A and B are shown apart, each in its own frame.
Chain A
Amino acid sequence: MDRIVVVGAGLAGARAATQLRKDGFEGTLVIIGDEPHKPYTRPPLSKQLLAGEQTAEDVVIKVDGLEDGDFMLSTEAVGLDPEAKVVKVAGGDGVPYDGLVIATGRRAREAPDDGLTLRGLDDAQRLSEAVGEGTKVVIVGAGFIGCEVAATLTKRGAEVTLIDIADQPLTPLGPEAGERMAAIHREHGVDLRLGVEPGEIPEGDVVLYALGAVPNTEWLEGSGLELDDRGAVVTDACCFAAGHDDIVAAGDCAAWPHPHAAGDTISIEHWTHASDMGRAAAKNLLAGRDAATPFTAVPTFWSDQYDVNIKSAGFPHEADSREVVHDEDGALVIEGHREGNLVGAIVLNKNRSWLDYRRQLTQSLPE
């Protein structure tokens, strides 16, 4: 391969590109990103950056081995021709490739009317500037972003109303952790309203819609690449786009088979997955399909809200039974089992337990 193109300049794309250079790829590398920014990390956008503790400079991702000239920023991919091996971009010539990494990630589900969303650096800066002491902020959607923003803006002195149609916040964590976090948000003064009617949005100075994310894969329509029913790029266990030896996909935009997951393929919208899958996809692209290694990392995520550190490992939301195994002094540990086997764990404020579960789940992967 003389030319590898990485479409997507987020975490997965950055990790893939740096891994390609680390593994000895000396040919032309082109990283296409639709934002004007070089790769940056998103978790601080709802926490430290929104809190004013970090700036745009603090969230830049290290891109060792990459040159500024490798990047085509503010460039939107609009199509793919896998036969001609060309990525079509808006307002420019097609970008040819020998090998392709698809890492276009997700964007926030669109807000109705003038509502704000939070996905990128520019969104975070806009939100931050709109909020001051006493600002009435309404957050629609009590998922991870909604809850983190509620915590961060409450600490900044805003009056936060957080609403959801579900009867708990953080639905994927299950009812035990959900109930605990609902109580904690209310203790900090958040007006948490659950089970609300869809479309009933209270008045506020600022309204943020945090309703999940959709994959940035419209550009692949008509390319012949397989997309699942939610739009994610389907890959095999080695990150290759189904049926292609020269195309891999990684991160939020992909759906891939995991031995522990319930369905055929699953999308994991979390940081560690994007980092790990980006690296694995790059290694496998260079190694070639016959020498590729299956990517089987056990998914994990974290969320920080107030002084609560939430961590999870595995697929706790796919459990058919859950058990609280520890609940003391603010530390909470919930195990999830499916058909009698441990499939995931959720941990609040107990790092060591989380590490143990992660190891256990990793060891129980099929050979």
Chain B
Amino acid sequence: MKVKVDTSKCEAYGECVFAADDIFELDDDADVVTVLNDSPDEDRRDAAEQAAAACPVEAITIED
């Protein structure tokens, strides 16, 4: 799967980091999230989908 973040929407809520800290990272000083791994293994699908659902600004898309 491919994980994409629309950084123009990202407001550093950090929900994605909580859901999947192997896929997303957010520093204290950062304005937007960093994608650590944009092609996670299939066993991370639940975590990636939780991240997408938990993002208050719907900045994350999961593509197959």
Residues of A within 8 A of B (CB): 15, 22, 41, 43, 61-62, 271-272, 275-276, 279, 302, 309, 350-352, 354-355, 358-359
Contacts and interface: CB of A to CB of B under 8 A. Distances in A.
Interface string B25-63: 011100000000000000000000110011010100000
A15 to B, nearest CB: 6
B20 to A, nearest CB: 12
Nearest to B17: A355
Classify the interface of chain A: helix, strand, loop or mixed.
Answer: helix
B14 A351 contact: yes
Given A351-B12, A355-B18, A61 B54 contact: no
Contacts of B54: 272, 275-276
Given A43-B56, A359-B18, A302 B27 contact: no
A309 B13 CA distance: 9
A271 B56 contact: yes
A62 B56 CA distance: 11
Contacts of A22: 49
Contacts of A350: 28
12 contacts: A15-B53, A43-B56, A61-B58, A272-B56, A279-B50, A279-B53, A309-B12, A350-B28, A352-B27, A352-B28, A354-B14, A355-B14
Interface of B: 12-15, 17-18, 26-28, 49-50, 53-54, 56, 58
A62 B12 CA distance: 20
A65 to B, nearest CB: 12
A275 B12 CA distance: 18
A302 B13 contact: yes
A358 B53 contact: no
For the complex of A and B, 5 pairs with smallest distance between CB atoms:
A352-B28, A351-B14, A62-B58, A355-B14, A358-B18
B28 A351 contact: yes
Contacts of A354: 14
A275 B53 contact: yes
A351 B15 CA distance: 10
Contacts of A355: 14, 17-18, 26
A276 B27 CA distance: 24
Contacts of A276: 53-54
Contacts of B27: 352
Nearest to B58: A62
Contacts of A43: 56
